[in-house]
Amino acid sequence: MNPHRLLLFLLLILIAPAAVAQTAEPAPTPAIEQNEAFRDTLVKMRIAREESEHKKLVEKANQLSDNVGELTKMAANGKLPRSSDRKLKDIEKTARQIRSEAGGGDDTTEVKDEKPPTSLDEALSKLDGTSQELKEGMGKTSRHVVSLKVIDNSNEIIRLVKALRTYMN
């Protein structure tokens, strides 16, 4: 055998393990590090979901305020047209959702108004004012806050909607 070929063969045999060692996969990260990374990802996802839900509540409060404005425009001669019933249902449903999501729960007990509105105009102006307060309150709160003012405003809107149904044609 040729000495050059023998030397080349021995050199390849000695270099091969070093080449294989360099291409070996890195040691896996410990399970503790993987669990911490997974938990961090879950926490970030939960925070993003809560922020998204809070943003949707703020949008619902804005939509409720817009619906009240449209309802006010529908009123004429001390009466509400039958078509306004759909708006009233939407307003009440949205107020219930906001109250529930804001931490107020689903209160089924009826609380009588100490001083119910005596006219349609008074009821609509109260409803408009309360919806504006609700809109501002939702804009000022964060997802970490349970606002009693938001819950009270939602309850007031629900009571006013029930009172407004008596003024339908």
Sign of the CA dihedral running 91, 96, 100, 103? positive
At 97, the amino acid letter reads Q
What are 103-160's pLDDT values in tens digits? Answer: 777 665 555 556 777 788 888 889 889 888 888 888 887 777 777 888 888 888 899 8
State how far the Cα of 147 lies from the Cα of 47, in Å rounded to an integer.
19
Amino acid making up residue 108: T
What pLDDT, in 10s, does the model give residues 82-116?
A: 888 888 899 899 889 888 887 777 665 555 556 77
Query: Phi and psi at residue 104, in whole multiples of 5°?
Result: -85, -15
User: Collapsing DSSP states into helix, strand and coil, what is residue 24?
Assistant: coil
pTM of the complete model: 0.68
37 has a pLDDT exceeding 80: yes
Mean pLDDT of the chain: 80
pLDDT at 46: 92
Calculated CA dihedral for residues 131, 134, 138, 143, nearest 10 degrees: -130
